[in-house]
Structure 1
């Protein structure tokens, strides 16, 4: 029902998380020291807002070849401090929304879907197919140039909850209490006649601040680009699916040497990329170097294992500020053995076939 456009996907995640810290949410508000269940195998800005605020990320391992959260570990991750689950649909492959939503409902937790890499993905829950990002309490999107659609730079935060929307808008727009859009004044008719905090009676509501907010807005020019992109978006998604399917079929004969990606049950992914994990005896570094040297770009699965990065050095040393559930064996394997290639809709079948040929040569060298 409600969408707030912002200036990036990372800002969208920041905006979504901070909305859950609002005093307006009462007992469900996230406070410093509360825990957020997430994964370490992904992009850092799914986790960064929680750490910067002073909440505690609780890291759960993922499954291969879906590369999403291992839902069998959710109950083990839960504690009396848990307030939310905030995870991404990895490269367009939806996580097990049925299991995660059931877990969140059972424990009265917020669910934030980082949908930045999955715009257009669908998931069937309770017999109804829905877009990812619309099943949890809040969804986020990114419109960075390589993503499913672009505004040059941009993002969005969306929810069906009117109170959450109020919090999202406030944090996006400097923390102000007024909900009037820019250029509009006194839509409520009470701009100068109410009492707020310890301010004088009638203090201009346009300059009353109920949160410590940011300026995360996008420009009109960016949103104009986004509107034009929306018209083309369905064809982008279909081409990404076509490219993914063609590449997967072409690589089927090397499954003795690599693990190919598998969609989550009950899902119809809008693929952002094609993940490949090399099996024992295959050196990812050598494979990636060969592919790159033959004109095909590759990427790691973002942070691989975020906990291993320099930003965690102090936290690892003090063993404070985060928690790990069990082991992160698959996360570590992804860090060592996984890479991905694109399925950008502008690629032709000939380009996809060349990519497949190059990957097979790299694995068999």
Structure 2
């Protein structure tokens, strides 16, 4: 038997294994007994076949699937350049690092420069700013969207401001028109943390593509997954060049993995104070990292990308079911609202308890968890109150605009539940019922 025939037989058996173990293993939802997770992986035999195919090739680092994934994601988003990395957190790190490159001259972000962001955030939206010695400037959010209150942008602006770095909270786009206009008027960089919003649209254009750089995460709860993984995307060729260098150890060479001397000048150039003709593969123009994903991960990602339109539609449908089922509870709860001119691909369904009710967030969360409904707080709440900020000095290491009153309300009163594509209508109806039961039983 030839190797290719043997491979095809193996891949056929992988499909059979999926059908036997995973497809048949899907159990029916039983109210009060089945666990309703806020998120989960959705896959079929195609992911397993791709993964096995990659394993059999045994090309472990960046390879054919990585290149295919970058191309397909760029095409989906309508951007010129996509760079695959090993996580969404690495994507945020790489995006911010890119703007700290000396190749950007006067627009390079340096130590002490300020970056406007929000405190109601996931830590790794903020961490790169601090790790690179810049100063995050925190502004408040709107309660219905948990996104930036754009009226505070001008107040946050200073002579040191170099960039704005924001996430689209739980898939709900922030006011991109206002933020983009502010950045352009003040010559600021814009990084969109799009990790929770892949497939969301603002004014007819995908989120993550409005700014100078966008990022995605492919951790299992996200819109698509490859286990671990992330991406940075841009339309700017210089930013792409810098990001690739930083992802790949900081090297100056742009040859793809496994290829040498693509430029034909590997041993015939002058670089810095190195000897003339020093091997270009070992010339470093940045202090970089190794942030590449494996080709095995990308193989899964390629199959997931084909499912993305279906996933997007299902998330929207699930969100609508929850919203329609809970809209008569607005005297108790602030429900999520889409930003004007947007079409969110929701990551979760945010609920905020109103001030005038007797119950608190922990009580309803404990009740829902006891009913097998998984809940999540909105990430770090107010990030400046987290232990990691205890050694930082306000007005030196970070700056706060105003009181962050809504941020604190979210920290104290908000939680979210899932809308991921694996949820059935029965599970969604059960969540609606249990939320209503809580307020009925507690007589709020």
TM-score, scaled relative to structure 2: 0.80
Task: Give the match for residue 409 of structure 2.
Answer: 333
Cα distance in 2, alignment partners of residues 158 and 337 from structure 1 = 35
Q: Does 1:246 align with 2:321?
A: yes
Cα distance in 2, alignment partners of residues 47 and 283 from structure 1 = 28
Task: Give the match for residue 20 of structure 1.
Answer: 99
Q: Does 1:264 align with 2:343?
A: no
Equivalent residue runs for 1:314-329 within 5 Å: 314-316=391-393, 320-329=396-405
Task: Give the match for residue 82 of structure 2.
Answer: 3
Task: Work out which of the residue numbers 362, 365, 370 in structure 2 matches 1:293.
Answer: 370
Cα distance in 1, alignment partners of residues 287 and 435 from structure 2 = 49
Task: Work out which of the residue numbers 227, 239, 246 in structure 2 matches 1:171.
Answer: 246
Task: Give the match for residue 55 of structure 2.
Answer: none
Task: Give the match for residue 311 of structure 2.
Answer: 236
Task: Give the match for residue 208 of structure 1.
Answer: 283
- Secondary structure of residue in 1 paired with 2:432: helix
Cα distance in 2, alignment partners of residues 192 and 75 from structure 1 = 51
Task: Report the Cα offset of residue 314 of structure 1.
Answer: 1.5
Query: Which deviates further from its counterpart, 354-363 or 12-21?
Result: 354-363
How many equivalent pairs are there?
Answer: 360
Give ranges in structure 2 of 5+ residues lacking alignment.
Answer: 1-79
Q: Does 1:117 align with 2:196?
A: yes
Cα distance in 1, alignment partners of residues 245 and 436 from structure 2 = 51
Q: Does 1:106 align with 2:185?
A: yes
Q: Deviations over 1:17-65 (max 9, x none)?
A: 0000000001000001000000000101001011011000000100010
Q: Deviations over 1:45-94 (max 9, x none)?
A: 00101101100000010001011000000011011111000000000000
Cα distance in 1, alignment partners of residues 315 and 308 from structure 2 = 11
Q: Does 1:353 align with 2:429?
A: yes
Task: Work out which of the residue numbers 112, 128, 132 in structure 2 matches 1:33.
Answer: 112
Task: Give the match for residue 263 of structure 2.
Answer: 188
Task: Give the match for residue 419 of structure 2.
Answer: 343
Query: Which deviates further from its counterpart, 55-64 or 274-283?
Result: 274-283
Task: Give the match for residue 70 of structure 1.
Answer: 149
Task: Report the Cα offset of residue 362 of structure 1.
Answer: 2.0
Task: Report the Cα offset of residue 320 of structure 1.
Answer: 2.6
Cα distance in 1, alignment partners of residues 226 and 284 from structure 2 = 29
Cα distance in 1, alignment partners of residues 439 and 410 from structure 2 = 17
Report the RMSD for the aligned CA atoms in angstroms.
Answer: 0.8
Task: Give the match for residue 95 of structure 1.
Answer: 174
Task: Give the match for residue 53 of structure 1.
Answer: 132
Cα distance in 1, alignment partners of residues 211 and 404 from structure 2 = 25
Task: Give the match for residue 139 of structure 1.
Answer: 214
Cα distance in 2, alignment partners of residues 211 and 223 from structure 1 = 26
Cα distance in 2, alignment partners of residues 363 and 151 from structure 1 = 39
Task: Report the Cα offset of residue 319 of structure 1.
Answer: 5.0
Cα distance in 2, alignment partners of residues 220 and 284 from structure 1 = 42
Give ranges in structure 1 of 5+ residues lacking alignment.
Answer: none
Task: Give the match for residue 62 of structure 2.
Answer: none
**Which runs of 4 or more aligned residues in structure 1 lie more than 3 Å from their structure 2 counterparts after TM superposition?**
none
Cα distance in 2, alignment partners of residues 237 and 58 from structure 1 = 33
Cα distance in 1, alignment partners of residues 107 and 395 from structure 2 = 27
- Secondary structure of residue in 2 paired with 1:59: strand
Task: Give the match for residue 313 of structure 1.
Answer: 390
- Secondary structure of residue in 2 paired with 1:223: helix
Task: Report the Cα offset of residue 326 of structure 1.
Answer: 1.2
Q: Does 1:158 align with 2:233?
A: yes
Rg bigger for which structure?
Answer: 2
Cα distance in 1, alignment partners of residues 435 and 264 from structure 2 = 64
Task: Report the Cα offset of residue 190 of structure 1.
Answer: 0.9
- Secondary structure of residue in 1 paired with 2:392: helix
Cα distance in 2, alignment partners of residues 309 and 230 from structure 1 = 35
Cα distance in 2, alignment partners of residues 101 and 67 from structure 1 = 18
- Secondary structure of residue in 2 paired with 1:241: helix
Task: Give the match for residue 43 of structure 1.
Answer: 122
